[in-house]
Structure 1
Amino acid sequence: MTRGMTIPETVTIHIPFRVVTHGGRKEMQLPDSAAQPRRTDNTLVKALARAFRWKRMLESGEFATIAELAEREGIAPSYMTRVLRLTLLAPDIVEAILDGKQGPEVTLAWLLEPFPTSWEAQPMHFG
């Protein structure tokens, strides 16, 4: 534009996207060709932090059993056991979650499902 030209009052921008549900929330998903910003999932990060904190508390002898720690935390021992399994995730998977590079199918519910403890056998839905 050159000086003196009028500026249009309405500007139309076309951005291709689709609406997807992720973790119970609706989000816009850009096409694969678009640059994707990192999307750190606070629920996953919080679960990882809890898992490693609980593991440290058990290993230090602060609590003798999972049942004792679960009672202190006010949660079911079975849930605590499933969350504690997150400490068995491969380091590159933990890093991908912390960096927000996990795939859209990676939710807390998905991670709490049984997975192989061997790092090489763990599914790669990251990055």
Structure 2
Amino acid sequence: MKPTATPDFVTIHVPFCVVKRGGRKEVQLPDGAPVQRRTDNTLIKALARAFRWKRMLESGEFASISELAEREGIAFTYMARVLRLTLLAPDIVDAILDGRQGPELTLARVLEPFPVEWLNQGVAFELDREHS
């Protein structure tokens, strides 16, 4: 029996699709594939701003959201929506900071109305709290 020659290269097929996420294109692997943690700097920056603004309001440094928005040069409506991020459940905030949020959790999505009850937020954002 003659030994068979081995090829000089190996071809590996990896199924994936490209999805838009927060204005960027991202590779999405099939279900069951190991997921790499990916921090979303846009979401993290929005969370940081929200908690900073909340602290500034609670300290009495500013009397109202309108006054703070004017000082920061930001539209009142945008600031009010970003401030709602301080109502996110701690496990959701932790997932965002650790890069464990799914591709469905974008800044645009969390700026939409969401339930203030922490138990209902996981359902609203389609999060798997068991594995996050």
TM-score by length of 1: 0.87
5 Å-filtered alignment, 1:86-97, equals: 86-97=85-96
List 4+ stretches of structure 1 deviating above 4 A. Answer: none
CA deviation vs aligned residue, 1:67-113 (integer Å, no higher than 9, x gap): 11101111111110110000001101111111111121111111011
Q: Residue 99 of structure 1 corresponds to which residue in structure 2?
A: 98
Amino acid in structure 1 at the alignment position of 2:70: E
5 Å-filtered alignment, 1:13-92, equals: 13-92=12-91
Distance 2:122 2:54 in 1: 23
Question: How far did residue 119 of structure 1 move?
Answer: 1.1
Distance 2:91 2:44 in 1: 14
TM-score by length of 2: 0.84
Q: What is the DSSP-based 3-state SS (H/G/I as helix, E as strand, rest coil) of the residue aligned with 1:36? A: coil
Distance 1:13 1:123 in 2: 36
Structure 2: 5+ residue stretches without partners:
none
Distance 1:111 1:33 in 2: 26
Distance 2:112 2:6 in 1: 60
Q: What is the DSSP-based 3-state SS (H/G/I as helix, E as strand, rest coil) of the residue aligned with 1:123? A: helix
Distance 1:40 1:93 in 2: 13
In the alignment of these two chains, the number of paired residues is 122
**Root mean square deviation of aligned Cα:** 1.8
Distance 2:110 2:49 in 1: 14
Structure 1: 5+ residue stretches without partners:
none
CA deviation vs aligned residue, 1:42-74 (integer Å, no higher than 9, x gap): 110000000000000000111111111101111
Question: How far did residue 6 of structure 1 move?
Answer: 9.5
Percent identical residues: 73
Distance 1:22 1:79 in 2: 20
